[in-house]
Every structure is written in C-alpha cells, then in structure tokens.
Amino acid sequence: GIQEQCVQALFNKGATLGALGESEAAIKVYNTLVEKYQNSSHEGIQEQCNNAEANLSELYMVKGENKKAINCAKSVFARVDLRDEESAIMPFLLWLLDDEDTTLESVYAAVKALDKDVVFSWGFREIEPMLDSYDEQKQKIARCFIEYFENHHDKEILKDVLWKSYEGSWL
C-alpha cells in the first residue's frame, strides 16, 4: 500500500512538473518512478509505470530526442492491451516520430482494435505546437487523430475524416 502511494505521488509530481513546463525535472521524476518500480508485480504500480513511460515518450518527443521517445513508446505498447488508450496512442506517437515500423494504416488499425469501453484521458497540448513542423497532409491527419482521442471517440467519424484528409487513398 505504501509503495502504491509513493508511486502515485511520484507520478503526480511528474505530471505537475510537466504541466508547469519543467520538462527536465518531470523526466527525472518519471525515470525515477520507472527505474524503482517497473519490476513490481502489483497491477496498479505497473499501470502507473506504463503511464509514466508513456508521458516520458511525449516529453522526449517535444525535446526532439526521438530515439528515446520511440524506445519509450515501444516499451509501453508492448505491455498494454486493447482496454488501454495507450494501445492506440503509442502507435500514433510512433507515426508522428517517423518510426520505420509504424505506418498510418497501423495507427488506424490500432484505433479500430480498441476495446469499446476504453476510457480516454490523454491530452496533446504539449505536442500540438510541433505539428506545425510537419507537411500539411500529416498535420491534417495528426489533428484528426488528436480530435478522436481528445473529443469524439467515434471510430466512424475518424474514418470519414481521415478518408477526406487522405483523399481516400488508404482505407
């Protein structure tokens, strides 16, 4: 019980530091959490370690440390299942990072495979400014996925919007 409270406190500290724009401090806290508790057999602690590593992926992405971001996203993706929003968000981040193993089709397939009872809580405020560095089509598609994850959660709407954004050439 005490370990679970410590993990929650570390996670909250990392999230708060990240929200305050203190990315270096947030990275340190999340790395401490993952290093100390990743081998725990407690399900709640494992979930917080996954969440911390998923946040690390996004923080590294914003800092331009793409290799670290890719490694974190792949690590999280390997441990989650279809009830976790990260089973679709990690492939999305990998696609944004131009990971050679991730295609737009695999991101969409991951979204389609999500359990119908997935609870969404992920926000993309930190990476939104970096979308401007992508070409116009990738920006449009990325924003379609972000709108899905943050707001409507409707796979049919996503499919229709992507079809229009991608000029109907891939679904």
What's the first-to-final CA gap in the chain, in angstroms? 47
- In this prediction, residue 1 carries a pLDDT of 83
Rg of the Cα atoms in the chain? 16
Contact 33, 52 (CB under 8 A): yes
Q: Name the nearest CA neighbour of 18 among 47, 51, 45, 66.
A: 51
- The set of residues, in sequence order, having a beta carbon less than 8 Å from that of 140 and lying 6+ positions away, is 165
pLDDT category at 164 given cuts 50, 70, 90 is confident
* Mean pLDDT for all residues in the chain: 92
| Structure confidence by residue, pLDDT tens digits, 42-57 | 988 999 999 999 999 9
- In this prediction, residue 163 carries a pLDDT of 81
* Region 50-74 average pLDDT: 96
- The set of residues, in sequence order, having a beta carbon less than 8 Å from that of 115 and lying 6+ positions away, is 81, 82, 83
Q: How far is CA 42 from the centre of its chain?
A: 22
Contact 55, 31 (CB under 8 A): no
pTM: 0.90
- In this prediction, residue 74 carries a pLDDT of 97
* Region 78-99 average pLDDT: 94
The single residue listed with the structure tokens 């499919």 is 159
- The set of residues, in sequence order, having a beta carbon less than 8 Å from that of 13 and lying 6+ positions away, is 29
Kindly tell me if the per-residue pLDDT of 168 is higher than 70.
no
Report the distance separating Cα 34 and Cα 22, nearest Å: 18
